[in-house]
Amino acid sequence: MRILILNGPNLNLLGHREPDVYGYETLADIETLLRQRAEDLGGIELDFVQSNHEGELIDAIHAHRDWDGIVINGAAFTHSSTAIADALSSITIPAIEVHLTNVHARPETWRHHSFLSPVTWGQVSGFGYRSYLAALDLLYSRVAEEEQNA
């Protein structure tokens, strides 16, 4: 099983960027936790891509379209990018939208709308780094079930 973990703009600064909002874990810490979890689940292959550029995120979605699933934190592009939404619509594998913060509870109302939600399997929002771990578990259980039923 192969799963892409895709992170959008400014997430490279995690751990330093508004840590009271986004937490003290760096993206590298989150990668370590996910790799550990992937091993515990029986050796899921993970690829990690982070970019501050919309087109690079779209390229990564295209390049992984024959993988088994995508965990995507589109960061601010969540709230603006019809192009990333179209990229997710263009592929057939499931994607889960994740956010460290509960975007619906944030004071900025522009964070309450997501262009990605309508084209993803679902959203995990508000659990800090645990959002990523939950999304990995959910994709694993879906793909494993589909493989069993195939």
Q: Which residues bind ligand DQA (CB under 6 A)?
A: 10, 73, 75-76, 78, 99-101, 103, 111
Q: How many CA atoms lie within 13 A of 62 on its CB side?
A: 10
- In whole angstroms, what is the distance from residue 84 CA to residue 2 CA? 20
User: Quick check: is 24 catalytic?
Assistant: no
Detail the DSSP E strand segments found in the chain: 2-7, 45-50, 69-73, 95-99, 122-125
User: How many C-beta atoms surround the C-beta of residue 39 within 10 A?
Assistant: 11
Query: Least distance to ligand DQA from the beta carbon of 84, Å?
Result: 12
Closer residue to ligand DQA (CB): 85 or 143: 85
User: Quick check: is 99 catalytic?
Assistant: yes
Considering the candidates 99, 129, 132, 140, report the single residue annotated as catalytic: 99
Query: Least distance to ligand DQA from the beta carbon of 57, Å?
Result: 13
Closer residue to ligand DQA (CB): 26 or 78: 78
- In whole angstroms, what is the distance from residue 120 CA to residue 89 CA? 8
Closer residue to ligand DQA (CB): 121 or 127: 127
Query: Least distance to ligand DQA from the beta carbon of 136, Å?
Result: 15
Query: Least distance to ligand DQA from the beta carbon of 119, Å?
Result: 16
Closest CB to ligand DQA belongs to which residue? 75
* Phi, psi torsion values for 21, nearest 5 degrees: -95, -50
Going by C-alpha positions, the residue among 115, 135, 110 that lies closest to residue 34 is 135
Closer residue to ligand DQA (CB): 10 or 117: 10
Q: Which residues are catalytic?
A: 22, 99
